[in-house]
Structure 1
Amino acid sequence: MRWFNQKQNAVLSIDISTAAVKLLELSRAGARYRVESYAVAPLPQDAVIDKNISNVNVIAETVKVALRQSGTKLKEATVAVAGSSVMTKIITMDASLSEDEMEEQIMIEADQYVPYSLDEVNFDFEVQRVNESNPEMVDVLLAASRKENVENRVEALAKAGLKTRIVDVEAFAMENAFSLLAEQFPDSSEGQTVAILDIGASMTSLNVLHDYRTVYTREQAFGGKQLTEEIQRRYGLSYEEAGLAKRHGGLPDNYTVDVLDPFKRAIVQQIQRSLQFFYSSSANRTIDRMILAGGCASIAGIEQLVEKSMGMPVYVANPFANMTLSSKVKPHTLSNDAPAMMIACGLGLRSFD
């Protein structure tokens, strides 16, 4: 399974998260990207637990729904595994080795790096840069994941009629998508440290990038599901009804003060906790700006609240800001979903590497 360095024609991006299957089809003309089609199809509870697929058939059916909604004709796709299920390691290798020789050497030495039997893992590698302390060596990124994490995704896509062409890692896809956001800032992100908080349905992932490269990632169990469950409990709704009410409104007047505001404060606490872990693990590195991604980033006013408590500039992710849209795509709907489409976007850019 190749994860890196495949030059491709356009492929569909399929992001399988806890709450939904997100599909995106991008094309490029010159330097500009265009959204050809996209869809977000909700998943039932427990189809994905802690980023692991627990029911391949349910995922396949939901991918089919997204394919129908989007109207895409593409049959090849790229998908990502969660960072928590991937082990990455930087190893140094002789710069004069060819790619095949590197692969051979990694295979021989892999049991030093990977805590599983080799027939249980998929892995790939990518040369990153010349080693700082020895110019005759290169730093090589090795990524390994248990085969079941990869195979479940490939199988779900196959059952939906798609061939998987690339399996990526969510943190790398997020890093890729950051290049689209960096263009939107008033000043350059070179040399800056940027925190991206992806607050999904059940997981919050912190990705810290320094100079456009990921230097730290951490996942913790917290997300929009807590808000849905509180709406469900408070107003006697089913989980599905609570999810719809959360997105489309129609809840009693006391909802904002009694339910939404406490949840927004809980988001701020989670962000503070995530950053605390980062600061304690990192040698005196400060964060220059923060980006909120994931479904919870669409909550009205959340960035102002976070900015006020963190004392740094905070932006809501919109990877589509500088893209053109095909006539099939409704601008308003896409802009509502944009913060949750970062991983799908990062996967989509792989077609144009």
Structure 2
Amino acid sequence: MSKNSSHTLKGNILVVDDQPDNLRILSFMLREEGYQVRKALNGQMALTACQTLLPDVILLDIMMPDMDGYEVCQRLKASDKTCEVPVIFISALDDVVDKVKAFSVGGVDYITKPFQVEEVLARVANQLTIQQLYRQLTEQNTQLQKLNEELKRSNDELEQFAYIASHDLQSPLQAIVGYARIIEATYENHLDTDAKQYIANIVNAGWRMTQLIEDLLDYSRVGTCTEEFKPTDCKTVLEEVLANLDEEICASGASISYSDLPTVMGSSTQLMQVFQNLISNSIKFCRPEVPPQVEITAKAKKNDEWIVAVRDNGIGIETQHFERIFEVFQRLHSYKKYPGNGIGMSICKKIVERHGGRIWVESQPGVGTTFYFTIPAKI
């Protein structure tokens, strides 16, 4: 009994050589190591053997009658069934040209005769390890692709659910706030101070819930939007935003300045949301007794994209919060001091990424904050 006969077979090896002695020696040493071995005396037999049972590794001689090893390898690599099987050439040809040709036709390794047993076994084991790792990687990639598809489907369903739920919540919420105001107006003279405060609390909570629903709808619309991108003048977009924010700007005494802005391929509605969220934040998170100053600039980069910067002189952000502010529902301050639902920056991130860009922040507490976002310059 062979010393390894009780071992589990480690792989299926096809040995191709027109010399019976070589076949016998190679077969014996490989079987001793626990491999399953098949033999072929010529190229045609090798091709037939591969069709019958696909080997894990092929040891292939070059100098054979009728069909040499180069042609055998070329035929193997031309077939979808056998193209992934690693071929190790084993030949008495020792010229560099022969070795280069062996690799050019698809060989993965080259052993020169007379061969050393240890070298053959090491090279075979190496190719089997590579094959095993390749199969594992392929399987993992397939599983990962399936998981990604499931995750995308779940995200799409979640966005659709958020949109429908938020939309359907608007009517009953408006009814609650509306009836609370009717009670307040109709029974004003019959309500004590506590009752009036309770009604005010209902109205304020309703207003906050309305804002949350509107923010959720904005967030879900980004993912479900099917609007095609078209040439969009960022200067025109910004001017519309400033008109929308005119009341906030005047009330805060903010100063807004901007340089020439580019025309890009994008959604004017969504880019308006980005500018409006960034400028509103700059106004809201201002330092006490310091009028907000906001500067919007744009710079072209060599890789066909624009970098837009929105810079302010506000309270700033601690470095450890830079990533957190782009996560949905993440707030750094109390609602009473700085109202909001923590969705605005996540909307900006989602819109910028939908346009093929990225967004990040630089800030120094007590000095100010600059938000940067890129957008491809493709017109």
TM-score normalised according to structure 1 size:
0.20
| Larger Rg over CA atoms | 2
Q: Greater helix share, 1 or 2?
A: 2
TM-score normalised according to structure 2 size:
0.19
